[in-house]
Amino acid sequence: MDEDGLPIVGSGVDLSKVPPIQQKRIVAFLNQFIVHTVRFLNRFSTVCEEKLAAISLRIQQIETTLSILETKLSSIRSEGRGGYRVGVVNKGLRAVTSTDRGIQ
């Protein structure tokens, strides 16, 4: 027994003498669990889809802004030795300085 007088292992009840739970009650508990779980998963799925849609929209906006920026930058000529040239490498933006081009 522990400090409170409760048995440490087991309840001390002979389970063979305890009547089983009624089958209707087990089915009701199981149905309730399934209903609550399905509701949770449906809500979770809806929230995830909404967040993914918002992120997808934001990515499209960023891609559009990036495309506009790339167009603007490509129209600017690099001036002198310290100028920058913008190139797209593997769908990423990369600034190339004059030192990258071997000019010193």
State the Cα–Cα distance between residues 56 and 61, nearest whole angstrom: 9
The answer to whether 87 and 94 are in contact (CB under 8 A) is yes
Of the pLDDT bands very low, low, confident and very high (cuts 50, 70, 90), residue 92 is low
Selected residue with higher pLDDT from 95 and 44 = 44
pLDDT tens-digit profile of 4-17? 666 666 677 777 88
pLDDT tens-digit profile of 43-86? 999 999 999 999 999 999 999 999 999 988 888 855 444 555 55
Structure-token match 């920026």, residue found: 69
The domain ranges of the chain are 21-77
Strand partners, 89: 92
| pTM listed for this prediction | 0.52
Of the pLDDT bands very low, low, confident and very high (cuts 50, 70, 90), residue 1 is low
